Structure 1
Amino acid sequence: MKFISLSGNPNYPCNVIKFKSTHIMLDCALDSTTVLSFLPMTLVHSNHFNSLPSWNATKEFTDPLLENEIKECLGKIFVDSAPEFCLPEFSCIDMKNIDVILISNYRSMLALPFITERSDFSGFVYATEPSMNLGRLFMEELVTYIERNPKLKRATAWKNLNIFQHLPFPCFPDSILPTVLENIYSMDEISSCLSKVKPVAFSEKICIFGSLHWYPVSTGYCLGSSNWIIESAHEKIVNISSSSTYTTHIRPMDHAPLKNADLVILTSLSLAPTTNPNTRLNEFCDHVEKTLKSGGNVLIPCYSSGKIYDLFECLNAHLDSVSLGGIPIFFISPIAEHSLAYSNIMAEWLSELKQNRAFIPEEPFPHGQLVKNGRIKHFVSLSEESFNNEFRMPCIVFTGHPSLRFGDVVHFIELWGSNPTNMILMTEPEFPCLEALSPYQPLSMKIIYCPIDTRLTFIQANKIIRDIKPKNLVLPYQYTRPFSQAESHNKQPFETMIEADCKMFPYHRKETIKLPIECKYERLLVDSELISSLTTHEIADGIKITTITGILEAKDNKFRLGPITKSYRNEFRSQMPTRTLPPNKYLIGMIDMNELLRLLAHQGYLDIVLNKFGDKRFRIEIRSKGITIDIDDETKSIMITAEDWQNDCRLAIRKLLAKCLIEI
């Protein structure tokens, strides 16, 4: 088995395994952290961004092509162009060889249009229905944000490799080259891409080529998120990605199918592994309360699905408890209405508590009722006329994008950033707070970094690995060294890295690993007619043996052994007259030397001598005929040495040897 890593970021996984001649891609996430190296896309003219100076390169490196492409803000540089995203390293593989793509969740499929629409890929794509639908919403939101406020110019000179290597971007990993950076796809590409995705339910087994089958099980993280189980007749592979053991609105993580795998692939652990999400959630509510009571507004950059549902529920309950229930909550996103509505019609993918609410009947999420009574107001964008009619302060605004590089959040930061009573509350850990806000500096508004990540921590992941007992573990190399956040410096190693009893295979971006998993056996279906004709012989207490002869048929990687029929024998003899069919009976057992000597003497052979060479080798000399019989029990061989004219004797001795063995 081969494992190929196409992504170096554990939280944007894209890996390929080659198993039983089948190429399987596990996820195709789009790394959006690279957009932090671009200037924000503003809704209206921005004096701040337009007045930023061009970057003054060092004396050792100057290039006139960079004029007006690279801007500088307080010592950090940014590309003044439409944001570009980091694709997986598709150059490492031939996409036409990929047979299937398995999607773990809607966040792990955002690079899919680059595969289905811009490569030779012609295989299958599987995802749960919520992953498909929410993936579509996320893709459309991303495209809408970027197309809504297009940049007037496109910067390209900075991507020249000779120039790029001199640019001090803080958010580009060393292994990333500009060749893997791309602008976002189009709406047409999204529609075409998702038409090729096949929906699958939890525990629904899908078979391909007859040799493998796979099925998704709940990860407990977000709507429809899946851990994939891949099985052959004798091997088992498990892909664990973006899983959670916390009790939220999602169906709990399904542990049982993960056990006793030959291989576990582990990705997408928590980016805030040393903090408790429940504690952070309480802090989140407290920060909002303090800001509102001081007369300020709260800006919460967020994704439009997932964690936001729990934030709505907890924040609303907290505000009611502190007499702030009249503060308006605005949710602004191109997909706000669809996201809120969709979450309330997917009852079968929710926790048991949420499912029970759906059958009362009540809406599973409180935000359904909060929208109806006007407590939460959702809008497509700031330019929507109804937003201007409803907007009042102080208020709470949930909007995107959490990278702070595009979307309505850009306008709100510019609008509220100069007032110290206002607050921006960052909850998404994948975008470092300081880097995300750096092009807006200087800011006067309060900045609170309160990362909430319910995915598995290292402690939880280590416990699960001990429980499921895999034979081999493939994981990003970052998980085999202590977590680098400053807050983790006093933590024990098992709290900040993966420690497992099984063999571990850490991987880097663009690395191929040969794994010690070989297919030694195949499952064979034996025809019932052939089974009924078998006879067994007991060779020891409780041990019986038999031989089986038949026709082996292989079709779609499934194997069947059937009887040799009379018609087949006739056809075989006519087509291959020089070849013979295997015998129906075989000789087995150990030769009793005394019995063989008795039979030879009874047959009339004289002057017989037995020579022993240890316990396993014997030579019988029939001196009257000049014939020797060499018997080697170790190699299971018998050799009769005689003259050519003694062929009759050779055949007679052969029959005597057969009498000393068992025919089955």
Structure 2
Amino acid sequence: MEWSWVVGCPCTADVKDCMLKINTLNYAQEACYNGTLVIKAFSSGLEIGSCNWILNGPKGDIAYLSSSCFFSAHAMTFDYHSLQKSCALIYSDFSFLSDAQDIEDGDNYSDPTSDLDRANLNSDENLEEKEKLVFICSCAVESVKDGGSVLIPINRLGAILQLLEEMTTLLEASAMQVPVYIISSVAEELLALLNIIPEWLCKQRQERLFAGEPLFAHVKLLKEKKIHVVPDIHSHKLLKDWQEPCIVFCPHWSLRLGPVVHLLRRWCGDPKSLLILEDLVNPELALLPFKPVAMKVLQCLFPSGIGMQKVQPLLKTLQPKTVLCPEDLRLQMSFSSEKSFSVLYYSEAETLKVPCRNNNSDLKIAADLASQFYWKTFKNEGINITRLKGKLLMENGRHHLHLDNDKKTSLRNSNSLVSCGLPDADKLLATLSNMGINASMEHGIDDAESQNVCIVHTEDPYKALIEIGNTGTSITTADANIASIIYKAIDDIFYGV
């Protein structure tokens, strides 16, 4: 983003406020949000710093899969292994919506038995991208030889770096002295940043770092003054050093903002000049304000996402429990009936409920505290239970138990026990009989809550009514001492904790 386009607008303060809320992450670094979500970024392989995300929470993890590339000559390889076996995966790669020809031909690549690793190691794709770069640069060099200039409003940093390397190599081989300009208010900062983020670069670039070599060729080219980086088109340095014909990298790819507007107006009538565009816009529509256009136009398509033929084997390898796909891709993506995951489709501005298959939450307890617990076993329920007093906190996406300083142990010796469950009516009658209290039992319905209840009547001198419902037990009597005696009888048939 060109900051100079924002300065002076009414929204400047809002943009600055938003920028202050941005946190930077290293590769695979954990960041915790609100104590609940643990967020990790993994390389998508599309660009330097472009990410896929894992969000870990108490009920499971969510993977966010954006546009990704399996091969790259500059960015870290697509780390899809880190996205494996998530509870839910949000698929958000729209890149193959443009693969209309493949769809029309009936090839939907829905065979899930393909081997993903074998597809990823296909060297033909790397060779194809290399040949594409050579072709683009050779067209640029030919235009310069004819006396024309070259304008490259490409927005992708990795593509710019590779074009710079290939283009300067061809110029040197042709023994041509042609100035190369990069006009951008953020270019100098971005080029400097490339030297301190090796974890986001591909293996080949990292090996250059360990060998003491520059990560990219622009470092050498800047020292030799073969490329010139300036912040804007009115820069004094640019006006002083400007020569034509030349090669210019500048924003914006839409041809509506930035230095490209001025330069395009300057060269649009020159048939010897060349405009290189990404295959993101309709050239007829983009060039409409500059007509008549005599300069040559070359459109190029760089890797922009997961190929349709790799979607099925990728999802088979990731093995999520649920896949969330955009509604726009419903017709393009057909899944095998033997798939191991469920598929849901989402639309913009709509809430989608995703089933949670993990109904339990993990609780982290320090070992020294856990060793002090006194457990009671409820065989019928198949659970162990203990009583304690403390605080349940959420930290780094996990529940943590912190006991009070004066309550390090369970309250086993306390006279006030907590009971679990409902009393058995037959056992209660037997216990009351052992205490010398005569009682009778009847069944009825509670009119207030419409539930079945068991009513126990005790006879004088312990006159009372005991009502046992589905959710609780109540004792009704006029004498507090009698209530205490009956309470003890009920408590005796429980396992107090």
* Same-fold status (TM-score > 0.5): yes
Q: Distance in 2 between matches of 1:338 and 1:202?
A: 20
Kindly indicate whether the alpha-carbon contact (under 8 Å) linking 2:37 and 2:55 is maintained by their aligned counterparts in 1.
yes
- 1:405 to 2:246 alignment: no
| CA displacement at 1:602 relative to structure 2 | 11
1-structure distance, mates of 2:345, 2:304: 25
1:426-465 matches, within 5 Å, as 426-427=277-278, 429-465=279-315
Deviations 1:473-524 (A, max 9, x none): 4444333344xxxxxxxxxx669xxx9953222212xx23132345844444
Instruction: State whether structure 2 residue 276 is matched by structure 1 residue 421.
Output: no
Where 2:208 maps in the other structure, the secondary structure is: helix
Query: d(CA) in 2 for partners of 1:567 and 1:285?
Result: 72
Find the counterpart in structure 2 of residue 514 from structure 1: 352
Counterpart of 1:351 (choices 202, 210, 216) is 202
**1:142-169 superposed Cα distances (whole Å, 9 cap, x missing partner):** 347xx7xxxxxxxxxxxxxxxxxxxxxx
Q: Counterpart of 2:328?
A: 478
1:583 to 410, 417, 421: 417
Aligned to 1:504: 344
Query: Which residue number corresponds to residue 300 of structure 1?
Result: 152
Equivalent residue letter for 1:431: V
Alignment of 1:205-216 (within 5 A): 205-216=30-41
RMSD over aligned CA atoms reads: 4.8
Aligned partner (choices 140, 143, 150) of residue 288 of structure 1: 140
Q: Is the 8 A contact 2:27 2:199 kept in 1?
A: no
Deviation of 1:189 after TM superposition, in Å, equals 5.8
Q: Tell whether the 8 Å contact from 2:373 to 2:386 is kept in structure 1 after alignment.
A: no
Measured in 2, the distance between the counterparts of 1:431 and 1:602 equals 90
SS of the residue corresponding to residue 426 of structure 1 reads strand
Residue deviations 1:118-157 (CA, integer Å, cap 9, x gap) = xxxxxxxxxxxxxxxxxxxx2415347xx7xxxxxxxxxx
Query: Compared with structure 1, are the counterparts of its residues 474 and 325 closer, same or farther at alpha carbon in structure 2 (3 Å cutoff)?
Result: farther
Change (3 A) 1:198 1:600: closer
- Equivalent of residue 560 in structure 1, options 395, 401, 425: 401
Change (3 A) 1:637 1:258: farther
* 1:412-454 alpha-carbon deviations (Å, 9 max, x no partner): 2222222323221112x33332221111122112222213243
Q: Helix, strand or coil for the counterpart of 2:314?
A: helix
Whole-Å separation in 2 of the counterparts to 1:437 and 1:470: 45
Pairing of 1:229-308 with structure 2 (within 5 A): 229-267=54-92, 269-270=94-95, 274=99, 278=129, 280-303=132-155, 305-308=157-160
- How far apart are the structure 2 equivalents of 1:559 and 1:639? 43
Contact 2:390 2:404 survives alignment (8 Å): no
Aligned partner of 2:475 in structure 1 is: none
Asked whether the equivalents of residues 217 and 227 of structure 1 are also in contact (C-alpha less than 8 Å), the reply is yes
CA distance in 2, matches of 1:194, 1:294: 45
| Identity percentage of aligned residues | 22
- Say which structure, 1 or 2, has more relative contact order (CA 8 Å, 6+ apart): 2
Query: 2:226 is matched by which residue type in structure 1?
Result: R
1:84 aligns with none
Name the CA shift for 1:408/1:271 in 2 (closer, same or farther; >3 Å): farther
- Match of 1:344, SS state, is helix
Per the TM alignment, residue 366 of structure 1 is displaced from its structure 2 partner at its CA by 0.9
Q: How far apart are residue 299 of structure 1 and its match?
A: 1.8
- 1:449 alignment partner, SS class: strand
Q: Distance in 1 between matches of 2:245 and 2:20?
A: 43
Partner secondary structure for residue 220 of structure 1: coil
Corresponding position of 1:223: 48
Question: Pick from 520, 524, 534: which aligns with 2:374?
Answer: 534
Alpha carbons of 1:208 and 1:435: their partners in 2 closer, same or farther (altered >3 Å)? Answer: same
Does the C-alpha gap of structure 1 residues 364 and 601 become closer, same or farther in structure 2, counting only changes over 3 Å? closer
CA-CA distance at 1:569 after TM superposition: 12
Q: Which residue of 2 aligns with 1:467?
A: 317
Displacement of 1:536 in angstroms is 5.6
Report the alpha carbon displacement of residue 385 of structure 1 after superposing the two structures with TM: 4.7
Kindly provide the amino acid, as one letter, of the partner of residue 347 in structure 1: P
8 Å contact kept, 1:587–1:663: no
Q: How does 1:545-624 map to 2 (within 5 A)?
A: 545-551=383-389, 553-555=391-393, 558=399, 560=401, 562=403, 583=417
- Name the structure 2 match of 1:371: 222
User: Does structure 2 conserve the Cα–Cα contact (< 8 Å) formed by 1:587 and 1:662?
Assistant: no
Q: What is the number of equivalent residue pairs in this alignment?
A: 436
**CA-CA distance at 1:245 after TM superposition:** 2.2
Whole-angstrom distance in 1 between the partners of 2:32 and 2:322: 24
- The 5 A counterparts of 1:79-98 are none
Q: Using the alignment, how far apart are the partners of 2:24 and 2:407 within structure 1?
A: 48
CA offsets, 1:202-261, max 9 Å, x none? 333233433332232222233333323222223212223343322232222322332222
Residues 206 and 215 in structure 1, CA contact (< 8 A), matched pair in contact too:
yes
* Counterpart residue type for residue 336 of structure 1: A
Structure 2 SS opposite 1:512: coil
Change in CA separation of 1:393 and 1:535 when aligned onto 2, cut-off 3 Å? closer
Q: Whole-Å Cα distance in 2 between the matches of residues 284 and 269 of structure 1? A: 26
Secondary structure at 1:230's aligned position in 2? strand
Displacement, 1:364? 0.6
Give me the whole-angstrom Cα distance separating, in 2, the residues matched to 1:476 and 1:648: 65
Note if 1:198 corresponds to 2:38: no
Is the contact made by 1:551 and 1:564 (CA closer than 8 Å) also made in structure 2? no
| Alpha-carbon distance in structure 1 between the residues aligned to 2:51 and 2:268 | 39
Preserved contact between residue 272 and residue 452 of structure 1 (Cα < 8 Å): no
- Cα distance change on mapping 1:409 and 1:382 into 2, 3 Å: same
Residue 142 of structure 1: aligned partner: 5
Change (3 A) 1:638 1:551: farther
Q: CA deviation at 1:272?
A: 8.2
Alignment of 1:319-358 (within 5 A): 319-320=171-172, 323=174, 326-358=177-209
Taking structure 1 as reference, are residues 385 and 587 closer, same or farther at Cα in structure 2, changes over 3 Å only?
closer
Structure 1 residue matching 2:266: 3-state secondary structure: helix
Deviation readout 1:547-597 (Å, 9 max, x if unpaired): 322225244575537589799999xxxxxxxxx986257699999x9x999
**What amino acid does structure 1 have at the position aligned with 2:253?**
P
Closer, same or farther in 2 for the Cα pair 1:336/1:554, shift >3 Å? closer
> 1:351/1:643 Cα in 2 relative to 1: closer, same or farther (>3 Å)?
same
Q: Hey, what's the Cα distance between the residues in 2 that align with 1:239 and 1:524? A: 26
Contact 1:265/1:473, CA 8 A, preserved across alignment: yes
How far apart in 1 are the matches of 2:83 and 2:187? 35
SS in 2 for 1:249: coil
Q: Distance in 2 between matches of 1:320 and 1:346?
A: 29
CA distance in 2, matches of 1:597, 1:587: 17
CA distance in 2, matches of 1:523, 1:660: 32
